[in-house]
Amino acid sequence: MNRAKPGRPAITRSQELADTIFDRLANGESLAKICSDDAMPSTSTIFRWLAGADELSSQYARAREAQADRYAEETIEIADRPSETELALQDKREMIEARKWFAGKLKGQYSDRKGPETAVQVNIQQNADQYFEGM
């Protein structure tokens, strides 16, 4: 007896499909939401595609950077909306914080934290200063 494999039918990778996925990412849609569409591959399929194709990986990275830019812009849009109640104001704060956090994870320029390279430079300078003080 032949049993059907569980899951979605195989979706063939194409540049057109990749462009659609990356456009949706760049416009702020989550990868999980995109992949929930029946016409789209699963997230695991997308990650397999990315692992095997440098150009596709570059396009994905650019789409994620554009997504970070979109989230950063949304924080301003949300902040500019009037809030009629304290609850609405708290909701706005949470929406802004979530977008700021995710944008910072996607694109370092939106992060409030300094990167590890800054800490390394400071530590090297401090060690050098201590070394030369003893001379």
| Full set of structural domains in the chain with CATH | 15-133 (1.10.10.60)
- What ranges in the chain are assigned the alpha helix state H? 15-26, 31-36, 43-51, 54-80, 86-106, 116-133
**pLDDT for 96:** 93
Residues, the chain: 135
How far is 35 from 30, CA to CA, in rounded Å? 9
Residues 15-19: what's their mean pLDDT?
95
Per-residue pLDDT tens over the stretch 29-55? 999 999 999 999 999 999 999 998 899
Q: Is the pTM of this model over 0.85?
A: no
Per-residue pLDDT tens over the stretch 96-109? 999 999 998 988 87
